[in-house]
Structure 1
Amino acid sequence: MSMISFTSLTISGLSEIFGRHLRYSKFGDAGGGRSRGFKPISSKAGMLFLYSPAMVYAVAAPFVFDGLVDGIRARLVAAALAIHFAKRVFEVLFIHQYSGQMGFDSAIAISLSYFLSTLTTIYAQHLTQNMPEPAMDLKYAGVLLFLVGIFGNFYHHYLLSKLRVKGEKVYKIPKGGLFELVICPHYLFEIIGFIGICLVSQTVYSFSFTFGTIIYLLGRSYVTRQWYLSKFDDFPKNVKALIPYVF
């Protein structure tokens, strides 16, 4: 699963760079409306479908599956994943504004990916029970990074939601926060959050998934910046894609 997760996320990141986008967000209509016989669904319904299964599993796992989540490290991992996806669901319902549609095939693929990665992260932690603790315990540093990531991601999602008044469907150049330096600070903080979970977990799978996620979001942020450059003549050239002053 570590190899599958890393490989699939890496391929997805490279596919973004080469123009094969998962159809959501501003790339929701990439490649045309219908795909593979599926009718597109609203972005809000699609995003809710993306995150809900993973959230439900992360919340339920410590209570439903006896002995699956045992020990402080495992509980912290499950709690972090539950908070991560619960925040996503909250944002879908109360924060984000949507203007397009999502390919249903993309919604299925992404939802399944989130669900399987959550399931596997928790199960990989279960397999470490009764094994020696890592020589360097990074779980509390991981908790700190996770909190920085979750709050930074939420703040920049909130800024994005304030760009448009209710009912407005046009895209605008984001302003405020780290948007003054990068076009995807929400991705940057998402990476920080996943690095935090990785440090709490300290398993091969969590490292593989986090590394693959970084590669995917590097690709996604690159094409996002290219999209803004193509749509807005006044897009600031000094604003990078993901990492301030660097990329």
Structure 2
Amino acid sequence: MKGLNAAVFSQRQRRLLRHATHFSPFGMEMRPVCRAVLVYHALAAKLWRYDTGTIQLPARAVTGGESMNWLMSAEVYNTILIGSFVYAAFILVGAFLSKAPYGRFGAEGRGLSLSPRLGWFLMELPATLSFLWFYLHGKNAGELVPMIFLGVWLIHYANRGFLFPLFMRVAKGSKGTFGLMVVVAGWLVTALHGYLNAVFISHLSSHLTADWLTDPRFLLGMSIYVFGFVMNVHSDAIIRNLRSKAEVESGERVYRIPEGGLFRYVTNPSYFTELLSFTGFAIATWSPGALFVLFVSAANLVPRAFQVHQWYLKKFEDYPPERKVLIPWIL
């Protein structure tokens, strides 16, 4: 019986279906003695076609992945991409008008707050989950170049979403400083991160073949990405080590001027290297989804970089005046 899909039957009907059929190299054949029984259940499910004498399934049962196919179509992808850039523009305006309540500005926020570790973990989690989900449904998921970018993505967000919050040195007994609204708003952004990049890399792109590994854009982009990623981890380590483990255990909130590495040149090397990494990833993938990640990250981090710089200037009278805000020697 052509088009037969047992998924639409009840458990009892599926047992009858297995009993009533056997498979041959030429397709599914019905045992005549059980045909009447199966037809009876097909009638009950309103699937029996009197004119053809066959079981006709609804269209949605035949094409069970239609919703996934719809989300991964170029038309829907482009629509979501445009909407995402519009949303990022609103984030940029909001970031200049207010300070997102997390980190050193967490105490200024209102409403419910989480611990920094839990807040970071929850906010970044959709970037990994959505990327994996959509990537694995792509037609090119098993190809070499997409798999390389899958690895890059998983390593990046293993650091940002798991290792970074895990190794945070949060003062013992301190109240939550990561606003719940930041997490909720971040879910949409990080879910879009995963969707827009995974669908393009594993499904829509036509240029990510083996030849791409020798393309100047891939080589340049990956070089920029690796440098940015390594320096980002290094900058995070400098910030983390400003507070000793003894101070963490005592519950004392201590702030110091960070020294070394890219801190010699800018106040916010973690932000700078994060943007540098996404710039490299956008070049290496030549993906509009990666361009969105860069844009929305800049919309959030550039205004915050100026806020953090002003915080240091007010907090420390001896703060090095030669340090730029974000980009060495430029900004």
Q: Normalised by the size of structure 1, how large is the TM-score?
A: 0.85
The farther-off stretch of 233-242 and 152-161 is 233-242
Q: Which runs of 5+ in 1 are unaligned?
A: none
RMSD: 2.4
**Aligned residue among 226, 233, 240 for 2:310:** 226
AA aligned to 1:119 is Y
Tell whether 2:205 aligns with 1:128: yes
242 and 225 in structure 1: CA distance in 2 versus 1, 3 angstrom threshold: same
Tell whether 2:265 aligns with 1:181: yes
Do 2:84 and 2:192's aligned partners in 1 also have CA atoms closer than 8 Å?
no
State how far apart, in whole Å, the 2-side matches of 1:41 and 1:11 are: 25
Q: Normalised by the size of structure 2, how large is the TM-score?
A: 0.65
**Aligned residue among 34, 41, 44 for 2:114:** 41
Shift of 1:7: 3.1
Higher RCO, 1 vs 2 (CA within 8 Å, ≥6 residues apart): 1
Q: Which runs of 5+ in 2 are unaligned?
A: 1-79
**1:243 match: secondary structure:** coil
234 and 10 in structure 1: CA distance in 2 versus 1, 3 angstrom threshold: farther
State how far apart, in whole Å, the 1-side matches of 2:224 and 2:179 are: 33
Q: 2:74 aligns to what?
A: none
Deviations 1:99-145 (A, max 9, x none): 551111111111331122112111122212479988x6512222222
Q: 2:8 aligns to what?
A: none
Do 2:117 and 2:165's aligned partners in 1 also have CA atoms closer than 8 Å?
yes
Q: 1:118 aligns to what?
A: 194
Tell whether 2:207 aligns with 1:155: no
Q: 1:72 aligns to what?
A: 144
State how far apart, in whole Å, the 2-side matches of 1:130 and 1:165 are: 49
AA aligned to 1:233 is E
7 and 241 in structure 1: CA distance in 2 versus 1, 3 angstrom threshold: farther
Where do residues 80-229 of structure 1 align in structure 2 (5 Å cutoff)? 80-88=152-160, 89-93=162-166, 95-99=167-171, 100-125=176-201, 126-129=203-206, 137-166=216-245, 167=248, 168-229=252-313
Shift of 1:91: 1.9
Q: 1:237 aligns to what?
A: 321
**2:244 match: secondary structure:** coil
**1:28 match: secondary structure:** helix
Sequence identity, in percent?
A: 24
AA aligned to 1:55 is T
Q: 1:26 aligns to what?
A: 104
State how far apart, in whole Å, the 1-side matches of 2:256 and 2:197 are: 37
Shift of 1:82: 0.9
State how far apart, in whole Å, the 2-side matches of 1:140 and 1:165 are: 40
Do 2:115 and 2:178's aligned partners in 1 also have CA atoms closer than 8 Å?
yes
The farther-off stretch of 206-215 and 187-196 is 206-215
State how far apart, in whole Å, the 1-side matches of 2:235 and 2:207 are: 40
The farther-off stretch of 152-161 and 190-199 is 190-199
229 and 3 in structure 1: CA distance in 2 versus 1, 3 angstrom threshold: farther
223 and 130 in structure 1: CA distance in 2 versus 1, 3 angstrom threshold: closer
State how far apart, in whole Å, the 2-side matches of 1:78 and 1:24 are: 29
Do 2:282 and 2:294's aligned partners in 1 also have CA atoms closer than 8 Å?
yes
Do 1:61 and 1:69's aligned partners in 2 also have CA atoms closer than 8 Å?
no
